[in-house]
Amino acid sequence: MTVSKIPATVITGFLGAGKTTLIRHMLANAKGKRIALIINEFGDLGVDGDVLKGCGDEVCSEDDIVELNNGCICCTVADDFIPTMEQLLAREKRPDHIVIETSGLALPQPLVAAFNWPGIKTQVTVDGVVTVVDSAAVAAGRFAHDHDKLDAQRLADEGLDHESPLEELFEDQLTAADLIVLNKADLVSGDALNGVRAGISGHLSRKPAFVEARNGEIAPEVLLGLGVGTENDIANRRSHHEIHHEDGHEHDHDEFESFVVTLGPISDPAAFLEGLKSLIVSHDILRLKGFADVAGKPMRQVIQAVGSRIDTHFDRPWSAGETRQTRLVVIGIHDIDEAAIRASLAELAG
């Protein structure tokens, strides 16, 4: 690894694992290191980018944040990611470190492989891939890791389809990792957290490092400076897609669907959030995030939900001339009932 190369960290993880929260904490404690962010959104509302903009001081100005929201970054490497990298490298004042936050639906492997692209490989190296895990979700069995048990169930009932695209995606993100962050560790017991760690380790041929976290609070010196040069080891981290492709399968994200709902002011925020919990469960919504206009409040409320867990906070005052409105991105499986969800959200808003 050449000393003059700019290190780049890829931060991946499933929907709602806490990637954006982790990055905010990293920026707040970067101690003057100039960091450029590339953010890949899934959906039409750039929530994560908007949350991170204005992240503070000279560490990361708004000019240092680039959003890629034209599709999943692993499918648009040539069209979006590589030109963005070339633009960053062409700047007179280059960053000390580049951080890429992938969409929760992205495969890390094609992105890491792109660092071998001519013109990038000589200037940038992948310092490491950090995979953020929602420990509470995994402990609750949101994803199955015991393949032997799944095979036994398949033999018992050949009519069952145990191969979930979500599970494969989760495993691919773990397979690519140099460091696995067991986030939301405070939401599970010590025994449950040990079970999550053991379950993940048991299905990885490589042995990445683990670190536990709550609210994404990891010191930047732990996340940055791994010095792995992951692009040189990508052949040992093949994804399910790469394995399936050898058998003639094609990769797409048609299993997922997202849409944006725009609403007026929220008259009763407590009732609205309670209603969201029921709506998320009844329609099996994977992820819901956005901003709310709470009636009578001068500040904008951020809403981030995964499963029935909902986090909210007021991030900033509404700007002069800015249209006050509630806008939410809803992400679910392809057959999600968009019309019913829109109607329910409108009713909840009051």
Q: Which of 83-92, 124-133, 204-213, 254-263 has the highest mean pLDDT?
A: 124-133
Closest residue by Cα to residue 268 from 278, 260, 276: 276
At residue 108, the 3 state secondary structure works out as helix
For residue 185, which amino acid is it?
A
CA atoms of 188 and 211, how far apart (whole Å):
15
Q: What share of the chain has pLDDT > 70, as a percent?
A: 75
Q: What is the pLDDT of residues 242-274, one digit of tens each?
A: 666 555 444 454 456 778 899 999 999 999 999
The predicted-structure confidence for 305-334, as pLDDT tens digits, reads as follows: 876 678 888 888 988 888 999 999 887 776
CA 222 – CA 73 distance, rounded (Å): 25
Q: Looking at residue 80, what is its pLDDT?
A: 67
Kindly give, in sequence order, each residue whose CB lies less than 8 Å from that of residue 252, ignoring residues fewer than 6 positions away. 75
Secondary structure (3-state) at 181: strand
Classify residue 45 by its DSSP letter: S
Residue with tokens 């959030």: 273
Residues 6+ apart with CB under 8 A from 25: 215, 216, 217, 218
Q: Give the bridge partners for 97, in sequence order.
A: 35
pLDDT at 293: 94
For 130, phi then psi, to 5°, come to: -110, 120
pTM over 0.75: no
Q: Quick one: pLDDT band at residue 61, thresholds 50, 70, 90?
A: low
